[in-house]
């Protein structure tokens, strides 16, 4: 019996449904969840992370993609490595942060450099709050019930595919 490679149509439907639910919950969490003891607002500043979530079905399953800095929102940045200056500068602008010295470009640059140096020395507030462990930002996206449902639906879809392939082989021998 030759085993077909790739996902069956029913497996694709199950994974497609899960991916859409996961991404919807991830976007909600990014827009609404505070993830450190120091943050008083959600992590969504520019909307770029929210917009970056996408998925694709592969021959073997599912890939969920997002901007690479989602890692730093999950685990923080540890001391010893500075974030890129321009990312911090863009974040200041996106959040509408006004330096105490006044809202000039030079003052926003100075503030960005101060933040870059602080992160390089102490790590991010997320890293400080969770000691490099998962911040829980996307925990609701990995809801145990949703994962159990995914497992059950994929098992059922796989069994249907297997039965179909076995019956097809039996027809060929008959």
Q: Which two tokens stand for residue 5?
A: 């490679």
- Is 145 exposed, middle or buried (CB count within 10 Å of its CB: 0-12, 13-18, 19+)? exposed
Q: Look at residue 94 and tell me whether its pLDDT is greater than 80.
A: yes
**147 or 41, greater pLDDT:** 147
At residue 41, the pLDDT reads: 63
Return the number of other C-beta atoms located less than 10 Å from residue 98's C-beta. Answer: 13
Going by C-alpha positions, the residue among 67, 17, 22 that lies closest to residue 43 is: 67
Q: What is the DSSP letter of 97?
A: -
- pLDDT score of 88: 92
Query: Tell me, what's the pLDDT at 96?
Result: 86
Question: What was the pLDDT predicted at 86?
Answer: 94
- Is residue 37 within 8 Å of residue 136, measured between CB atoms? no
- pLDDT value at residue 137: 85
Which pLDDT belongs to residue 113? 97
Say whether 9 sits in a helix, a strand or coil: helix
Select the more confidently predicted residue: 43 or 117: 117
pLDDT digits (tens, 9 = 90+) for 6-63: 778 888 888 899 999 999 998 988 888 877 666 566 677 677 888 899 999 988 888 9
Give whole-number Cα distances, 89 to 18, 66, 99, 118, 122, in Å. Answer: 36, 21, 12, 14, 19
**Mean confidence (pLDDT) of the chain:** 84
Q: Provide the pLDDT for residue 39.
A: 57
Q: What is the per-residue pLDDT for 78?
A: 93
At 52, list the tokens.
Answer: 């970056």
Give residue-wise pLDDT tens across range 57-85.
Answer: 988 888 999 988 889 888 999 999 899 99
Q: What pLDDT was estimated at residue 1?
A: 47
What's the pLDDT score for residue 169?
64
- Over residues 129-145, the pLDDT tens digits come to 888 898 888 888 877 88
């Amino acid at each position: 019996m030759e085993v077909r490679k790739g996902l069956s149509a029913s497996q694709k439907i199950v994974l497609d449904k899960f991916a859409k639910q996961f991404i919807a919950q991830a976007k909600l969490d990014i827009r609404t969840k505070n993830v450190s003891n120091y943050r008083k607002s959600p992590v969504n500043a520019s909307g770029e992370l929210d917009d970056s979530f996408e998925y694709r079905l592969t021959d073997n399953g599912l890939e969920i993609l997002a901007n690479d800095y989602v890692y730093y929102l999950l685990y923080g940045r540890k001391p010893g490595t500075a974030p890129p200056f321009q990312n911090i500068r863009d974040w200041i602008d996106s959040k509408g942060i006004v330096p105490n010295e006044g809202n000039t470009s030079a003052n926003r640059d100075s503030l960005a450099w101060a933040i870059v140096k602080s992160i390089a020395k102490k790590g991010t507030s997320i890293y400080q709050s969770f000691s490099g462990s998962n911040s829980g930002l996307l925990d609701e996206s990995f809801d145990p019930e949703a994962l159990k449902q995914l497992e059950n639906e994929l098992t059922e879809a796989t069994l249907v595919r297997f039965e179909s392939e076995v019956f097809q082989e039996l027809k060929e021998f008959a």
